[in-house]
Structure 1
Amino acid sequence: MASADFTLLLPVYAGDTPDALRLALESSTVGQSLMPAEVLVVIDGPISAALEAVIDEFEAGGAVPLTRVRFAENRGLTEGLNAGLERARYDVVARMDADDVSVPDRFAKQWPLLEAGYDLVGAGMVEFDDDPEACGVTRIPPVGEANIRSHARTHNPFNHPTMMYRVSRVREVGGYEPFGKMEDYWLGIRMIASGARVENIAEPLVKYRVGSGAFARRGGWREAQTEIRLQKAMLGMGFIGRGEYLRNVVMKSVYRMLPASVKQVLFRRFVAGGLPSDQKSKDTQK
């Protein structure tokens, strides 16, 4: 099976489950038509024996060389990702969460764009709850550098579990920086602002586990404060103007305080460009 010179970066922590981790690893390696040359697992604090056994099992299988980075205590995603970037053997890294699923041709479609000189490449993704074969809404990202930059002024233009990027360019903008649950969005903004070449593939190349309570976790005053802090940073670097800043702060603060059911509808309708997967297939056939 063919492979290419990039690293799969996969953080793991105590809240992950063995079955989901196994599927994430398998779908992103032996399940790919183009496999990574290395798997880098960042173990963020103590994990269960069952999770450790899945990693051991994969390493023993030898399909792709596996390297572990281990923290004695939980340090959070930002530190974990930066540690992974420091240890990656290759200049291109593919992000992967321990509870998502890569579709078989994900890397075969993203890798050629990195080879062609792009610095950051994302893709569409499709949501599921517990069964990855029972998919729901498809999140369609903006395509084309101008559209991506415009979208980034109001929303994250990249579906974070789909991101592949050039490590050298990420380091040039300072790597991951702590920003609540928006560290991927902040990284994307800084890369766009730095002149990095960015692109998205509209096709869903990752199945994203939504799970119960996902939209509830996006709400509350703490999330609103993080949103305001991000908007201030974007204004300070000149990425948005004062009018855009004021509009974004008002709209996003209100959104964060809405009930989860309302946020879910608004996010899928106006932010993610999402359609139910069965409706998307009908529309594609027209």
Structure 2
Amino acid sequence: MKYMDNKFSVLMTVYKMEKPEYLNQSLSSIEEQTLLPQEIVLVEDGPLTDELERVIEIHKRQFKNKFKIIKSNVNRGRGLASRLGLKYISTDWVARVDSDDICYKNRFKLQLEALEKNHNIKMIGGQITEFQDMPQNITGKREVPLSFKEIEKFARYRSPINNPTLMFNKKALDLIGGYPMLNVLEDYDLCIRFLVNNLEIINLPYNLVNMRVNKQMYKRRGGVKYLCQYILMKWKWYKMGIGNIKSLVLSDVLMTGNIILPVNIRRLVYSLFLRKRQK
């Protein structure tokens, strides 16, 4: 089977606080791909502003017969909204796209070419660059391991995938119970469940997505609620066979230290120690 025949869908969620210009840039990056999806399933996670609705309508007209708009009357959160959207996917493969990120033009082509070469792959991601304000203002890069074995080791301490680059097999997802009913760490949990069920995951060495970062992103990764959820999930994954007591305690201690930091200091820690600096 040629990768051109291996049809896939894009899954995106958007809520009222998204900036229209960010959504426009994200949807445009899908339309400019060298390999286009069969459909875009867009979940409106609660009522949207008129400006966001206008952006969606413009892209619906430009990308005729490709859009499935799913409207939720209430804001569910990204994880639960994604779970809702998956019910409307009609292809075997699903590509996640965040509503404020920008896909590099060959993202989908590179992923589908890799799937053609190895039919055992059930989840595939890649590298991301990060930018502030303008897409060309790249401030760093988050590198993740490439092979299944390296991914399993990395997962003991940190998420071994870049969430915005994910493409996964829907049938494989259904076999392990579907998308997590979570709004925190949902993609990390998804990856862990693929790993413990021995479903092959790889990351490509290429930059697939240019991810928007700002103060709000770092703020979301703090607070007592986030820390409690993290510790509970790490314990759950340990009981599932990921890591050992040493990796469990170490990752919990490091995350506790990270979360209690003020937002600006946390942002600096990510930049200096958890990201590759751009030259």
Q: TM-score, normalization: structure 2? A: 0.92
Are 1:47 and 2:48 matched, yes or no? yes
Counterpart CA distance in 1 for 2:20 and 2:252 is 39
Post-superposition shift, 1:269? 4.3
Are 1:167 and 2:166 matched, yes or no? no
- What residue number does 1:141 align with? 144
Report SS of the residue matched to 1:141. Answer: coil
- What residue number does 2:227 align with? 224
- What residue number does 1:27 align with? 29
Structure 1 stretches of 5 or more lacking a match? 280-286
Counterpart CA distance in 2 for 1:213 and 1:83 is 25
Aligned with 2:190 (options 187, 192, 198): 187
Report the residue type matching 2:7 in the other structure. D
Counterpart CA distance in 2 for 1:142 and 1:156 is 10
- What residue number does 2:85 align with? 84
Give % identity: 28
User: Do 1:4 and 1:36's aligned partners in 2 also have CA atoms closer than 8 Å?
Assistant: no
Counterpart CA distance in 1 for 2:252 and 2:182 is 16
- What residue number does 2:63 align with? 62
- What residue number does 2:201 align with? 198
Report the residue type matching 1:156 in the other structure. S
Q: Aligned pair in 2 of structure 1 residues 124, 64: CA closer, same or farther (>3 Å)? A: farther
User: Do 1:127 and 1:135's aligned partners in 2 also have CA atoms closer than 8 Å?
Assistant: yes
Report SS of the residue matched to 2:248. Answer: helix
Report SS of the residue matched to 1:213. Answer: helix
User: Do 2:215 and 2:263's aligned partners in 1 also have CA atoms closer than 8 Å?
Assistant: no
Q: Which moved more, 1:172-181 or 1:217-226?
A: 172-181
Residue-by-residue CA offset, 1:77-112 (whole Å, 9 max, x unaligned):
122111121110101000001111011111111112
Report SS of the residue matched to 2:38. Answer: strand
- What residue number does 2:107 align with? 106
Post-superposition shift, 1:123? 1.0
Report the residue type matching 1:125 in the other structure. I
Counterpart CA distance in 1 for 2:229 and 2:272 is 23
Report the residue type matching 1:103 in the other structure. Y
- What residue number does 2:16 align with? 14
Post-superposition shift, 1:175? 2.1
Counterpart CA distance in 2 for 1:200 and 1:226 is 26
Q: TM-score, normalization: structure 1? A: 0.90
Aligned with 2:236 (options 233, 236, 246): 233
Report the residue type matching 1:221 in the other structure. V
Post-superposition shift, 1:247? 2.0
Counterpart CA distance in 1 for 2:248 and 2:38 is 42
Report SS of the residue matched to 1:88. Answer: coil
Map residues 200-279 of structure 1 onto 2, 5 A cutoff: 200-272=203-275, 274-276=276-278, 279=279
Q: Aligned pair in 2 of structure 1 residues 213, 45: CA closer, same or farther (>3 Å)? A: closer
Report SS of the residue matched to 1:46. Answer: coil
What is the aligned length?
A: 274
Post-superposition shift, 1:4? 5.1
